[in-house]
Structure 1
Amino acid sequence: MKLLKKLLAALAFAPAVALAAGGGFPLDAAPDHTRDLASLQNGAKIFVNYCLNCHAASNMRYNRMRDIGLTDEQIKNNLLFAGNKVGDLMTVTLSAKDAKEWFGAAPPDLSVIARAKASAEGSGPDWLYTYLRTFYKDDTRPTGWNNMVFPNVGMPHALWELQGIRTAKFEEAKDPHDHSKTIHRFAGFEQVKPGKLSNLEYDRDVADLVSFMTWMAEPVQDTRRRLGVWVFLFLSVFAFLAWLLNRSYWKEVK
């Protein structure tokens, strides 16, 4: 029941995102690192250090990360905050009231955000990958940040130290539907302050983070698929045997 409530909450948030992204900013294809344990472990580290301060993943337990090759000792030493235990859910201390006051809305739970975005945008990983790479400085916004995929986003750029500070450049162009009008067209980003990572390194870390969130949305996905293949093979053999039995039975009746 709790999982259903969280999924419904995420899906309820998704339409607002879909409307906000209605400008049609092109999405970049997210590299799929969901079968790369080293990438998933790096994504888990980034998630805990940069996302879990405001966003919870309350359907996920820390010890579930054993599935991506981490031991309890590694989880305890590298991914837990003071007072947390390996078997605890990935929750945050930030209250919904404070979050609404600071950001205008409570940050959504990220347990199934990749699946929610897949329903709303067609590709959850691609949306998240592009979203996390298109923040830019905008002093007109309350947080000082804006985003090309999600215009007027309430979330500040949590990864700005890694990516650095960029501004967005816009140029005036003729409206393709009405040449008497002009529109502001995105013309790229300008790096104002470098981050700790190069552009290539930042894209790689974002890909790892998105892969972890994709895995987290359904940790048993690979197991489910493997079992599905075996079930299909079993049913195929069973159906063939049933056909042979049926043919033999009706042959004797005739």
Structure 2
Amino acid sequence: MKKLLTLVFLFSLLGAGTAIAAGPSVPLDRANIDLKDQASLQRGAGFFFQYCVGCHSLEFARYNRIGRDLGLSDDFVVENLIHTTNMEGDPTGIGDQVHIAMRASDAEEWFAQPAPDLTLTARLHGPDWIYTVLRSFYLDDSRPLGVNNAAFENMGMPHVLWNLQGWQRNAGSLEEPQLEMVSQGALGTEEYDQVVRDITAFLTYIGEPVRLERTQIGMWVIAFLILFTFVAYLLKKEYWRDVH
């Protein structure tokens, strides 16, 4: 028993140390997403499948489930969200999982390793982390892809949204970054922040599609318990009225 407790204690310390080591180098910005905003989720899906799905998969999600949850028709999903084919070369089906178009061999050659699946990223790191990372790219000539990230140092990922945000430089240090814009993209700062917020909301939904449904069910359960408690109180009062 003592050995078991010792192992549990050591593993807990290891997990805590890993969490600290993987922590961000800058304070996280508040994403302030609203999962009830279906329009935001729809925009986020559009941006993800336009800019991200070339490298990042959502292997625990299916196209038809995404369309159903976000209020998108199957025809819209097929025409606007599906950009891949299956092993036989036929278009990916509406009921298939979301895989990437890039071959694993190409990913290893270009980026040293395949890009991670993003299905559970929001549950692992939280929405604020995603929001901060997508706003924290800056120019860095020392990196193979020419960019670094203040919230994820030495990230092996290009700034795929550069045409929307523009380019930033780090006027501070790696320990205390100070990002400032040097070349404005197609969108203003507030507009770009909204794009990132929409993507963050979509990835948060993807990580737990039943979240809103579970919340609604929970509210009905609480309401039922309150009503049942009131009825039980009246029943108890009526039952004990003649006992005394």
**Considering only aligned residues, what root-mean-square deviation do their CA atoms show, in Å?**
2.6
Structure 1 residue 209 corresponds to structure 2 residue 210: no
Give the Cα–Cα distance (whole angstroms) in 1 for the partners of residues 123 and 169 of structure 2.
30
Alignment size in residue pairs: 221
Higher strand share: 1
Q: Structure 1 residue 56: deviation in Å?
A: 0.5
Q: 1:153 aligns with which of 139, 152, 155?
A: 155
The 5 Å alignment of 1:7-86 reads 19-23=21-25, 25-64=26-65, 65-82=67-84, 83-86=91-94
Structure 1: segments with no counterpart, 5+ residues: 1-14, 118-123, 172-182
Give the Cα–Cα distance (whole angstroms) in 2 for the partners of residues 113 and 223 of structure 1.
20
| 2:112 aligned partner | 104
Q: Structure 1 residue 244: deviation in Å?
A: 5.3
SS of the aligned residue for 1:109 comes to coil
Give the Cα–Cα distance (whole angstroms) in 1 for the partners of residues 79 and 123 of structure 2.
30
SS of the aligned residue for 1:94 comes to coil
SS of the aligned residue for 1:114 comes to helix
Q: Structure 1 residue 29: deviation in Å?
A: 1.1
Structure 1 residue 188 corresponds to structure 2 residue 179: yes
Q: Structure 1 residue 236: deviation in Å?
A: 3.4
Residues 135 and 147, structure 1, Cα contact 8 Å, conserved in 2: yes
Residues 33 and 208, structure 1, Cα contact 8 Å, conserved in 2: no
| 2:96 aligned partner | 88
Structure 2: segments with no counterpart, 5+ residues: 1-16, 85-90
Per-residue deviation, residues 83-107 of structure 1 (Å, max 9, x unmatched):
1222221111434454344323332
**Aligned residues: percent identity?**
43
TM-score, normalised relative to structure 1: 0.76
| 1:142 aligned partner | 144
Structure 1 residue 113 corresponds to structure 2 residue 121: yes
TM-score, normalised relative to structure 2: 0.78
Of 99-108 and 39-48, deviating more is: 99-108
Q: 1:166 aligns with which of 152, 164, 168?
A: 168
The one-letter amino acid of 2:210's match is: V
The one-letter amino acid of 1:238's match is: F
Q: Structure 1 residue 147: deviation in Å?
A: 0.3
Q: 1:235 aligns with which of 210, 220, 225?
A: 225
Give the Cα–Cα distance (whole angstroms) in 1 for the partners of residues 225 and 31 of structure 2.
35
Distance change >3 Å, CA 232–CA 127, structure 1 → 2 = same
Give the Cα–Cα distance (whole angstroms) in 2 for the partners of residues 26 and 250 of structure 1.
59
Give the Cα–Cα distance (whole angstroms) in 2 for the partners of residues 235 and 142 of structure 1.
59
Residues 40 and 208, structure 1, Cα contact 8 Å, conserved in 2: yes
Give the Cα–Cα distance (whole angstroms) in 1 for the partners of residues 169 and 200 of structure 2.
23
Q: 1:200 aligns with which of 190, 194, 201?
A: 190
SS of the aligned residue for 2:158 comes to coil
Residues 170 and 179, structure 2, Cα contact 8 Å, conserved in 1: yes
| 2:5 aligned partner | none
The one-letter amino acid of 2:98's match is: M
Residues 148 and 154, structure 2, Cα contact 8 Å, conserved in 1: yes
